[in-house]
Amino acid sequence: MNVAKDVQLAMNVDGGTIIEGKKMNKKILVTSGGTQEYIDDFRILTNISSGTLGCLTAMKLREAGAEVFYVCSKTSNQPRICDPLMKVFGIRSVSEAMEMMKKVIIEEEIDAVVHAMAVSDFTFKKDKDIKCKSTDPEAFIEYMRQTIAVNPKIITQIKQWRPETILVGFKFEIGLTKEELVSLAKASIEKNGCDLVIANDKKEMKRLNRHVAQFVYSEKMKQQLNVFDSEAYDKNDISNMILHFLQEVLK
C-alpha cells in the first residue's frame, strides 16, 4: 500500500480536509502498528496491525501544520517524508512504547495523543537466554504458562502523565453489535479519560468489506464542540475525521 499516495488522494478528493491558512501549530503524538513481545529468544507474540491508519493520520496532521511525534513498531508503515517536524521513534515492546511515550508527552508537552497502536496484552518474563524445543509442544506450553504476564495498559497512563492532553483512543473487537461497541467505547472514555474513542469490529468489517468505525465522543467534547457520535467507513474517512476533530478542539 502506497501510504503517501493514499494521503494525497484523500486530500484531493476530500476538498477541504486542510483549511488553507489555518495551521494547527500544535504538538501531536501518534502511535501506530503492533507491538512485539519475545516468548523466548527466537519467537515473538504480536498482532496483525499494519499501522496504515496511524501513518495516514500522522501525515495528514503534519500536512495541517502540526509537529508530529510518531511512535511506531519497527514493522509498522512509516511516513515516507523528510521533514524535521515529523519525528519517528521506532519501538518493539510495550515497555519500550510506554517509556518513549511518557518521555515525549512530558518533555514535549504534547497537546494531543492519537493512540492507534495495537498494544500486546501479554508479555513473557524470562531470566536467561532460551529457545524452546519445537519437538516438545507440552514443554513449550508449560514454559509459556510459567512465564506469561499481563502488560500494563498504556492508555490508562496518558492523562496521568499530562492531564490537559486531548486523548483519542481505539477499541478493536470481534463479533460485537454496534450497541456493544459503543458501550465499550463509553467505558474507555470513563476509565481512561479519552475525549474520543474510535471502535470497530473485525467481523463486521469483513461482512461489509470495508473499515467501518464508530466515533464515540466524551460528553465534554459533545458540549464543547457540538458534535455527535457518528460512523466512518474507510481509513481515509477515519483519519480525516480525526484530523477535523483535533483541528476544532485545538483551536
Q: Is residue 190 one of the residues assigned to a domain? A: yes
In this structure, what CATH number is given to the domain that contains residue 111? 3.40.50.10300
The tens-digit pLDDT sequence of the chain (251 residues) is 344 444 433 333 333 344 344 588 999 999 999 999 998 888 889 888 888 999 999 999 999 999 999 999 988 898 877 889 999 999 999 999 999 999 999 999 999 999 999 999 999 998 778 888 888 899 989 989 999 999 999 999 999 999 999 999 999 988 888 899 999 999 999 999 999 999 998 888 788 777 889 999 999 999 999 999 999 999 999 999 999 999 999 99
Q: Is residue 84 part of a domain?
A: yes
Q: What is the DSSP annotation of 143-210?
A: HHHHHEEEPP-THHHHHHH-TTSEEEEEEEESS--HHHHHHHHHHHHHHH--SEEEEEEHHHHHHHTS
Q: Is residue 130 part of a domain?
A: no
By the 10 Å C-beta count (0-12 exposed, 13-18 middle, 19+ buried), 62 is classed as buried
Residue 225 lies in a domain: yes
How far is residue 145's CA from residue 115's CA, in Å, rounded to a whole number? 30
Q: Is residue 49 part of a domain?
A: yes
What DSSP element (H or E) covers 137? helix 137-147
Q: Name the residue range of residue 97's domain.
A: 22-122+154-249
Is residue 25 classed exposed, middle or buried when 0-12, 13-18 and 19+ CB atoms within 10 A define those classes? exposed
Give domain status of residue 16, yes or no.
Answer: no
The alpha carbons of the chain give a radius of gyration, in whole angstroms, of 19
Domain count along the chain: 1
In a domain? residue 98: yes
Is residue 141 in a domain?
no
Q: What is the pTM of this model?
A: 0.87
Of the chain, the end-to-end C-alpha distance in Å amounts to 33
